[in-house]
Amino acid sequence: MHRREWLKGTSATAVALLAGRWRSAAEDAAAISRAFPRLADAALGKARALGASFADFHVMGTESESLFVREEMVQGVDAGMSVGGSVRVLIDGAWGFAASDDLSEANVVRLAESAAAVAKSQAGWRRRPVEIETLPAFTDRWEQPIEVDPFTVSLEEKVERLLSINRAALAKGANYCYSHVAMVRERKWLANTFGSRIEQSRVRIHPGFGVTVIDPKKGGFATRASTAPPRGAGYEHLRDWDFTGEAALAVEQAREKMAAPSIEPGRRDLVIAPSNLWLTIHETVGHPTELDRALGYEANFAGTSFCTPDKLGALRYGSEIVTIRADRTAANGLATVAYDDDGVKTDGREFAIVDRGVFSNFQMALGQAALIGRDASNGCAYADSFDAFPIQRMPNISLRPGADDSVTVGDLIAGVEDGIYIEGNGSWSIDQQRYNFQFTGQVFHRIRGGKLDGMWRDVAYQGNSVDFWNACDGLGGAPTYELGGAFNCGKGQPQQVAPVSHGAVPARFRGINILNTVKESGKQTAEAARALSRPFSVCQCGGGGGRDPWA
């Protein structure tokens, strides 16, 4: 639907509905704040009466809105809201949990009863009792600072902003383009039997775009997506990022990439921009150092982890210059909060995961620290909805700058004779131990004689998590630091999604294996065809007759 038709036919109704929804959400929040002490007392009192050594009561309200625009057409507008509560109890060393969208006092008491019943039924099956530390009690209210509440900005203005990005791309010669924005507000209330009463509110936003250029004569095409990161911020992020300028540049770079030579496989030195390196940090450091994954309690979304507890303090994860730290306090961080969903205060809880190259700590939620002989967790619990049990999720995890603040990306490039400078994240793959990986990107600049000299295409870099970080020999200074991140990171079963930021500086890596993605795709297709052409017989597991058709 074209913009004029869409605005004429739907915008007035949509704006009215959305405005009513958001007013209702704000009213709900005020009502919950008033009722929460009474509801918490009822839920926690019942939990104690049923034998809970620990209990907490959570209420969560979520608002979301997303828009998708292609060329001059509005293709999608979506809005949602949910609110509800949960009770979590610890009885006889076993967890119990129950949730509902009914926040009446009678029902939250029933939730406590249901959670207690679950815990008691699990107690006889547990391998070892859950041990938790005693948490300090806090009474606090925290609201993330933002400039402009995105839910108060008119739908028409947001659509027009996205259309302006597309127009800039089309004017520069893009054949196709799209733009989008998604925004979420979370409001959370927490009370526990340690005495905490906490209320928090935060907003996150993810704007972006993609362009495609084609060569009708040769039949080729190339794409380039925005490098704008999602942020813990308001509408100002969409307003202030130079999306129209980046869209014009993206078209030029896509056209150059389309005409670039295809990469020759082999080992090369890489300089990787923060807009690409954040994803590598996420997959090769963030997920492997989740304690539940390392212990085998979590295996969804690319398996468990090579980074087992026996390696703590011993594994040389990276070179001496590599320090990767976790926090929940970074400005505009997607995982930034004052308290995690266990009620752990995050200020002053920053910790090193990799300290000067050495694996130094896991990410932990309540009840996990004792599993590796630690005294306390480190503020890494998150639940993505009112009916989700808080599990360990990443805080903001970031590569620290090098010691010399004067080092620029140009300095890193100058130290490379034959290599590639990579910008923007692309596709990725990693094995079931979070060890062997492959990453692509958006733009691949050729480095020759310490200078940028054209582009490559069809590039992927490959390695394993330990060798890769040990190959790092150069880091940008503090002025080159940028914050990237994932708006929705999946984990768990049932799946939960969490937002997390990853800061980084440009970094140089020596002798990294480079693949040609087109050639590799051709090899895989040929191998699959050969395998499927072989005689197939069903394996007779008891007698050894038959053979593996994939051998």
Those residues whose C-beta lies under 8 Å from the C-beta of residue 288, and which sit 6 or more positions away, are 294, 305, 306, 307, 434, 435, 465
Give Cα 190 distance to the centre of its chain: 24
- Supply the DSSP symbol for 286: I
pLDDT at 114: 99
Both tokens of 444, joined, read: 């691949």
Asked whether 315 and 359 are in contact (CB, 8 A), the reply is: yes
Q: Which of 188, 158, 485 has the alpha carbon at shortest distance from 337?
A: 188
Asked whether 204 and 230 are in contact (CB, 8 A), the reply is: yes
pLDDT at 24: 60
Those residues whose C-beta lies under 8 Å from the C-beta of residue 65, and which sit 6 or more positions away, are 18, 77, 78, 79, 80, 150, 151, 182, 183
What is the Cα gyration radius of the chain? Answer: 26
Both tokens of 58, joined, read: 């959570």
E strands, 216-350, are 220-225, 266-272, 324-327
Asked whether 94 and 127 are in contact (CB, 8 A), the reply is: no
Question: Which superfamily does 3-259 belong to?
Answer: PmbA/TldD superfamily (3.30.2290.10)
Asked whether 83 and 386 are in contact (CB, 8 A), the reply is: yes
**Per-domain residue ranges for the chain?**
3-259, 267-516
Spell 357-373 as b/e; 16+ CB within 10 A means b. bbbbbbbbbbbbbbbbe
**Predicted confidence pLDDT, tens digits, the chain (551 residues):** 444 444 444 443 333 333 444 446 677 899 999 999 999 999 999 999 999 999 999 999 999 999 999 999 999 999 999 999 999 999 999 999 999 999 999 999 999 999 999 999 998 888 899 999 999 999 999 999 999 999 999 999 999 999 999 999 999 999 999 999 999 999 999 999 999 999 999 999 999 999 999 999 988 999 999 999 999 999 999 999 999 999 999 999 999 999 999 999 999 999 999 999 999 999 999 999 999 999 999 998 879 999 999 999 999 999 999 999 999 999 999 999 999 999 999 999 999 999 999 999 999 999 999 999 999 999 999 999 999 999 999 999 999 999 999 999 999 999 999 999 999 999 999 999 999 999 999 999 999 999 999 999 999 999 999 999 999 999 999 999 999 999 999 999 999 999 999 999 999 999 999 999 998 877 655 555 444 444 433 333 333 332 222 22
pLDDT at 527: 54
How many residues make up the chain in this entry?
Answer: 551
Both tokens of 119, joined, read: 């815990």
Residue 53 backbone dihedrals phi, psi, to 5 degrees: -80, -20
Q: Which of 142, 157, 176, 162 has the alpha carbon at shortest distance from 206?
A: 162
Strand partners, 271: 421, 508
Strands 266-272 vs 507-516: parallel, antiparallel or unpaired: antiparallel
- Supply the DSSP symbol for 311: G
What CA dihedral angle connects 361, 336, 229 and 438, to 10 degrees? 20
